[in-house]
């Protein structure tokens, strides 16, 4: 079922008009409230512009789905969340009254569902960190200070490459699909034994989430019945229906993008986004959604355990190095040794690029988790203590 279908009966062009104009058509304000309403109008429209600017930057900035891009995405979410808190709590006089209370409660319920996604992403980052350790072993095995590459070095590297290749499988993949999809990773002697050993090692590091948990279903739950506010909802909520819908949409997209990029259970990307384009932030979010889907459909990315750029680079260079070290004869020919050292150098560049970024990403996911918890706690406290 579409997660964000526009279900309102009002014309979408309604959103092309400012909130102030919409309310002015239906509500005649008293003169002594004019200044307050102007301030409210400014705050609501400023929030819309902020969200639009942040996602426009994401659409045209860092390389899509790279670690720096994902970190920037989370920074944008934290900024949106903080500005939303300002808008929400500056309207304490009405947040405890219908229909604002219903919209706020619905938003906080969706936020709770996002906490599970954060936990799953944290597990995925930890899994990528384990892969990074295998890269350490590979690069150390081919020590560039050694004049020649010996059989022992190749043996240690190939062992780490097999462990890494199996670890990079999505948890739902079977050993048979691994053999079919990554034949170049297998070893010519004792391959089945190594695969079984590495698979057991991988599962010992598996997710802390329940085996039945599904990222795809969780995203569906976050986006369930999410629709753009109708004109009378905007008026009845003094304009707050618009920022609540905006933040719901931002929450859904950010969680969806994290699931697309980082390994986690049941990474289905079928979540549908249908946002009226008259919202200023709709175009960049829909563009990013389309570009990420296009990336997931590329032949070399279809079976990936995550669309993160660094994961793709790791897969590519590991595959290349595995091919180079398969069925080789010692002593190595000069050309063969040069090819191996070049492949190791390329893998080392990926390793270095990931080293600090993984810690930064994990820290930001933790910040997102705690910010959601704090906002929900403060919001529900406001709802429960404000007289209706």
The pLDDT tens digits for 215-272 are 999 999 999 999 999 999 999 998 999 999 999 999 999 999 999 999 988 888 888 8
In whole angstroms, give the CA distance from residue 347 to residue 354.
Answer: 11
Q: Is 272 helix (H, G, I), strand (E, B) or coil?
A: coil
Q: What separation in angstroms does the CA of 40 have from each of 68, 154, 238, 353, 379?
A: 35, 67, 9, 45, 19
Phi-psi region of 70 (alpha: psi -120 to 50; beta: other; left: phi over 0): alpha
pTM for this prediction: 0.81
The overall longest dimension of the chain from CA atoms, in Å, is 91
Residues 6+ apart with CB under 8 A from 173: 181, 303
Residue burial 240-254, b: 16+ Cβ < 10 Å; e: rest = bbbbbbbbbbbbbbb
Structure confidence at residue 36 as a pLDDT band (50, 70, 90): low
pLDDT tens-digit profile of 122-138?
A: 999 999 999 999 999 99
Q: Residue 63 gets which letter from DSSP? A: P
pLDDT digits (tens, 9 = 90+) for 163-215: 888 887 644 352 233 333 333 333 334 444 444 444 444 333 344 678 889 99
Contact 138, 160 (CB under 8 A): yes
What is d(CA 141, CA 152) in angstroms, rounded to the nearest whole number? 9
CA dihedral 60, 61, 65, 71 (to 10 degrees): -140
Instruction: Identify the pLDDT of residue 174.
Output: 29
What letters, b where the CB count within 10 A reaches 16 and e where it falls short, cover 188-202?
A: eeeeeebbeebbeeb
Rg of the chain over all Cα atoms, to the nearest angstrom: 25
Locate 198 and state its tokens. Answer: 């590495």
pLDDT of residue 13: 36
Strand ranges (DSSP E) for 164-294? none
300-310: per-residue pLDDT in tens?
A: 888 888 999 99
- Both tokens of 336, joined, read 């063969």
Q: How far apart are CA 261 and CA 292, in angstroms?
A: 9
Q: Are 154 and 292 in contact (CB under 8 A)?
A: no
Question: How far apart (Å, rounded) are the C-alpha atoms in residues 80 and 78?
Answer: 5
């Amino acid at each position: 079922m579409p997660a964000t279908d526009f279900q309102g009966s009002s014309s979408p062009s309604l959103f092309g008009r400012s909130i102030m104009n919409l309310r002015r058509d239906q509500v005649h304000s008293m003169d002594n409230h004019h200044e307050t309403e102007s301030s409210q109008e400014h705050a609501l429209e400023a929030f819309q512009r902020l969200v639009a600017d942040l996602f426009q930057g994401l659409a045209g900035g860092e390389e899509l789905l790279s670690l720096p891009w994902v970190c920037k995405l989370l920074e944008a979410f934290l900024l949106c969340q903080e500005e939303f808190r300002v808008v929400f709590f500056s309207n304490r006089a009405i947040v405890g009254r219908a229909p604002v209370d219903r919209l706020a409660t619905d938003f906080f319920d969706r936020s709770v569902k996002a906490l599970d996604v954060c936990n799953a992403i944290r597990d995925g980052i930890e899994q990528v960190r384990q892969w990074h350790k295998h890269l350490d072993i590979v690069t150390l095995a081919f020590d560039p200070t050694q004049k020649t590459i010996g059989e022992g070095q190749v043996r240690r590297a190939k062992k780490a490459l097999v462990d890494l290749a199996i670890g990079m499988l999505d948890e739902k993949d079977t050993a048979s699909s691994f053999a079919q999809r990554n034949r170049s990773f297998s070893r010519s002697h004792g391959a089945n034994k190594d695969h079984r050993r590495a698979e057991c090692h991988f599962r010992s590091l598996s997710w802390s989430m329940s085996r039945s948990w599904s990222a795809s279903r969780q995203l569906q739950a976050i986006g369930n019945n999410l629709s753009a506010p109708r004109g009378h909802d905007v008026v009845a909520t003094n304009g707050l229906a618009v920022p609540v819908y905006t933040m719901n949409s931002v929450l859904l997209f950010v969680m969806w993008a994290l699931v697309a990029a980082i390994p986690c259970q049941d990474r289905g990307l079928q979540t549908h986004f249908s946002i009226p384009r008259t919202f200023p932030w709709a175009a960049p979010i829909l563009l990013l959604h389309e570009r990420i889907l296009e990336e997931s459909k590329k032949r070399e990315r279809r079976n990936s355990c995550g669309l993160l750029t660094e994961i793709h680079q790791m897969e590519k260079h590991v595959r290349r190095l595995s091919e180079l070290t398969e069925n080789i004869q010692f002593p190595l020919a000069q050309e063969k040794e040069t090819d191996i050292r070049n492949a190791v150098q390329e893998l080392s560049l990926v390793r270095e690029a990931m080293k600090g970024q993984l810690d930064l990403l994990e820290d930001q996911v933790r910040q997102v988790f705690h910010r959601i918890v704090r906002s929900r706690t403060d919001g529900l406290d406001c709802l429960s203590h404000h007289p209706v």
